[in-house]
Amino acid sequence: MDIIGGSDDASREIMKRTIIVIDDEEPVRKVLNTHLLKEGYDVIQSAGDNAVFDLLRNLYCDLIICDITMPEADGFRVLEFVRENLDTTPVIMLTGLTDLSVAVDIMKRGAFDYVIKPVKKDDLMAIVRRALVHRDLLARNKELELENREYQGFLEQRVRERTKELNAKAKELQKAYGLLKSTNMQFVNVLAETIEAKDAHTRGHCNRMRILCMELGSLAGLSADEMEVLEYASLLHDLGKIGIAEEILNKTGPLTEDEFRRMREHPEIGEKILQSVPSMAPIAKVISCHHENFDGSGYPKGLKGAEIPVASRIISVADLYDAMSSDRPYRKGLPQNVVLREMKRVAGSQLDPEVVAAFIENRVHLSVRNESATASGL
């Protein structure tokens, strides 16, 4: 192997290109060397022995010009090696053969072009220049791909970091929301207990209402938001009783007409109290309708059927069940079969028949018994 870097300093400044010429015939190498040096290229020569593979592995070059038929390193082997290891380096094959099929084969195997021997200087230089432009484009393309991959990696990393941050924030918000919700519920429970404390007839009523209503709401397929409204409304449905005199609430005998009129105001009083809190508006609406009857005979507005919010219809069913089945100071709770029979009787008039059917078919009243047993440790 001869390494000849014989170009003058000025042309090296311009080109600074290194070309490896591989040919077992020394005269051919000399001719090519002369032509290429004159054009300002650095030239490395190889006689095409097996050492050429180490040379290709260890030395940088911009272009390879390689003979096809050589005793040791066959030109096709060299081409295959270059395509596998030096993906941007073009190879120009030298061939003494003029058979077109050989040329086609050379190109198919990844050669940039071929030159027929004896080599004409102008033809060779034209191909060399094109090959170097092609090499530069490939190299630039590879750089861009690399930059693109790096940028992609950078973006993916940023997205991963951002997602992590957002997930952490979402968790914090969820925690804060859970705390707020639990505080709200505790506050509503205190309100419910306040209502019960005022009305001696209804001890434990609000909590039983919550259990029955949650069961019925779930059977009715309510959404999570609707369930939340129902839960609050079931606890607060009698909030308006705060505005009713205790003598009326706790009276054991029949109410006078005026007392009855006052008593019937409690759904609207409750609605007004909650309306002062904007986020409670859907709950206020449900509360205002909890004494509306399915056939329009209820109060305060005489709404009927689907005009009454489904949560209010659920509360009506649970309210009637609990009022009849729980003990009062002046009477014992009625037996289950009597209560259920009465619910069936008023289904379609006072109560929504579908909610009543769901209540009876699914034995919803057992949920209150189970809850009481759990609470008392039985």
* Chain residues in the site for Fe ion (CB under 5 A): 238
Q: Residue 163 Cβ, how far from Fe ion at the closest point, in Å?
A: 49
**CB 290, min distance to Fe ion, A:** 6
Closest by CA to 86, choosing from 114, 52, 61, is 61
Cβ at position 231, least distance to Fe ion in Å: 17
CB of 167 to Fe ion, least distance (A): 44
* Residue nearest to Fe ion according to CB distances in the complex: 238
- Catalogue the long-range contacts made by 79-83 (C-beta closer than 8 Å, 24 or more residues apart): 79/106, 79/109, 79/110, 79/111, 80/109, 81/53, 81/56, 82/56, 82/110, 83/109, 83/110
Nearer to Fe ion, 77 or 203 (CB): 203
Residue closer to Fe ion, measured from CB, 35 or 237: 237
Q: Which is nearer to Fe ion, 125 or 242 (CB)?
A: 242
> What is the C-alpha to C-alpha distance for residues 153 and 232, in angstroms, rounded to an integer?
49
Nearer to Fe ion, 39 or 199 (CB): 199
| Separation of alpha carbons 271 and 283, rounded Å | 8
Closer Cβ to Fe ion, 42 or 238, answer by number: 238
Q: Please, what is the minimum distance in Å from the beta carbon of residue 234 to Fe ion? A: 11
Closest to 315 in 3D by CA, of 348, 288, 275, 297: 288
Minimum separation from the CB atom of position 200 to Fe ion (A): 15
Compare residues 129 and 261 and give the one whose CB is closer to Fe ion.
261
> Residue 353: helix, strand or coil by DSSP?
helix
Q: Angle at CA 79, nearest 5°, toward 78 and 80?
A: 90
Question: Looking at beta carbons only, is 200 or 375 nearer to Fe ion?
Answer: 200
* Residue the block writes with tokens 């940088």: 60
Burial class (CB in 10 A: 0-12, 13-18, 19+), 7: buried
- Three-state SS annotation for 218-272: HHCCCCHHHHHHHHHHHHHCCHHHHHCCHHHHCCCCCCCHHHHHHHCCHHHHHHH
Q: Is the dihedral of CA 167, 170, 171, 172 positive or negative?
A: positive
CB of 242 to Fe ion, least distance (A): 12
Q: At 99, give phi and psi (nearest 5°).
A: -65, 125
Least distance to Fe ion, CB of residue 265, Å: 11
Structure tokens belonging to residue 40: 């300002």
Smallest gap from Cβ 238 to Fe ion, in A, equals 4
Nearer to Fe ion, 67 or 238 (CB): 238
Per-residue DSSP letters for 95-135?
ES---HHHHHHHHHTT-SEEEESSPPHHHHHHHHHHHHHHH
Q: Which is nearer to Fe ion, 238 or 268 (by Cβ)?
A: 238
